[in-house]
Amino acid sequence: MNPTRCLYPGSFDPVTVGHMDVISRAAAMFDTVVVGVLHNPEKRGCFPVEKRVEMLKKACAAFSNVQVISYGGLLARLAKEQGFRVVVRGVRGVGDLESEMMMARINRQLCPGLETVFLPASPEKSDISATMVRQLASFGADLSQFVPLEALPDVLAAFEDTEESGR
Ligand code: PNS
């Protein structure tokens, strides 16, 4: 059988334990998982792309079959250029499904044969998002349940000066 390979794309701004749940489950299903930090070169996220990649690399270091890349363009183009046939996406709940299915259909239209596999979030991870992590971080909340430990110092450092006093 041919070795199987998948692309797990996202913004990862920053990586969360929800993302790690998807990565570890995908790593058990595929020979190789390529985590792709996809970004629009004209839009600035909270963390610079290089920092997002660095945090992901630290968090994924224990997985020998996981690689991390970044790409500033269309997912379908990346899939064509690098020969991906399978995209993995985590789904936290039904609210995610409509847009995820639309994305999967468009990507398959742009890159015929490209399949998207949805992994339902583990129940205890289904409320965790990067948006929520950024908001908690801005208020100085304890992030240890939400961000992988390897990435935690980088997230805390980025929000060190922005913590609100609550006054
Ligand atoms: O972590 P996110 O923000 O849910 O990830 C969304 C992402 C990056 C996978 C999506 O926005 C994307 O694929 N961006 C690349 C541009 C693209 O291909 N857009 C068309 C999708 S139909």
Q: Tens of pLDDT along 154-167?
A: 999 999 976 554 44
Q: Is the CB of 106 under 6 A from ligand 1?
A: yes
pLDDT for 63 equals 98
Cα 165 to middle of ligand 1, angstroms: 34
Q: Is the CB of 104 under 6 A from ligand 1?
A: no
Q: 138 and 128 in contact (C-beta within 8 Å)?
A: no
Residues 6+ apart with CB under 8 A from 126: 18, 92, 93
Cα 154 to middle of ligand 1, angstroms: 24
Confidence of residue 43 (pLDDT cuts 50, 70, 90): confident
Residues 6+ apart with CB under 8 A from 25: 119
Confidence of residue 84 (pLDDT cuts 50, 70, 90): very high
Q: 33 and 129 in contact (C-beta within 8 Å)?
A: no
Span 92-138, pLDDT tens digits: 999 999 999 999 999 999 999 999 999 999 999 999 999 999 999 99
Mean pLDDT, the chain, as a whole number?
Answer: 95
Q: Is the pLDDT of residue 82 over 50?
A: yes
